[in-house]
Structure 1
Amino acid sequence: MLLALALATATPDAAADVVRRYYALLAARNYAQAWRLWGDDGRASGKPEAAFARGFARTATTSVNIGRPGRVEGAAGSLYVTVPVTVSARLLDGTRQHFTGSYTLRRVNDVPGSTARQRRWHIASAHLRPHA
């Protein structure tokens, strides 16, 4: 049963669910929890938690459409998945923004000694570009 659960959480769809949860947290203005979905307890976002939250201060709404995640790939004891996205946002002044790109999610392989926290998908990087 435990092995089946571990394998179920290592799927591309499980990684895509983290991106869905991330945008749901952003929409709810729960920036602290969204920040923590980044690797290294948020630090992989490249910003301290307060700066991360300030980056969304002018955002009124945000939503994401998630494409088909890539295959799970392994390297050096970790698993990676790329999740393509299209992001729409509306700023407080009414300006609309659109981005396309992807998130790369990472988790530690199911190796002896790894913790449940290490085996959860987290955002390793984001590559978003403005889209008209």
Structure 2
Amino acid sequence: MFPESGEAPTKPGDVVDAYYSALASGQYARAHAMWSPASPTGAEGIDEFERAMLSYQSVEGHAAGPARLEGAAGTIYAEVPVTVSVVRRGIPDTRSGTATLRKCDDVPGCTATERRWHLSAIELGASGT
């Protein structure tokens, strides 16, 4: 799911960078696996995710700053600023926004998978922001 080393990124910004790297190289299953299963994107099937991505000729994105962390009820949330540039149906577009990630805060009952960062939302501003 994550880099070829098999190790999951330990920093939220690294997960964002790995996600956009997977999208840029057409590794849609790898990118989809980085989403929390509880998120709308994670809950949709890989076929639907891939179909949505096929309208993009290119996708580039990256973490654009440090993560802001918050904890609540055994879960840690991270908000990471992102910048995304795409070409969709031949039209280039660049947007900035925030990727929200979450992970279990190593409390009893959390699985190893739940203790890794997963995307839960990506909110992008209007075109050109």
Task: Give the TM-score band, short-chain normalised.
Answer: 0.7 to 0.9
Q: 2:123 — aligned with what?
A: 127
The CA RMSD over aligned residues, in Å, is 1.9
TM-score (norm 2): 0.82
| 1:78-103 CA distance string (max 9 Å, x none) | 00110111100113x53101121111
Q: Is the 8 A contact 1:69 1:81 kept in 2?
A: no
The residue number in structure 1 matching 2:3 is: none
1:85 paired to 2:82: yes
Q: Deviations over 1:88-132 (max 9, x none)?
A: 0113x5310112111100000012332211100000111113322
- How does the TM-score come out when normalised to structure 1? 0.80
Q: What's the % identity of the aligned pairs?
A: 37
Moved runs in structure 1, 4+ residues, more than 6 A?
A: none
Unaligned residue ranges in structure 2 (runs of 5+): 1-8
Match of 2:51 in 1: 54
Unaligned 5+ runs, structure 1: 1-7
1:17 aligns with 2:23: no
The structure where helix makes up a greater share of residues is: 1
Alignment of 1:1-132 (within 5 A): 9=10, 14-40=11-37, 44-45=40-41, 47-91=44-88, 93-132=89-128
What is the CA distance between 1:65 and its match in structure 2? Answer: 3.5
Assess if the C-alpha contact under 8 Å between 2:75 and 2:105 holds in 1.
Answer: yes
Which has more radius of gyration? 1
Contact 1:97 1:130 in 2 (8 A): no
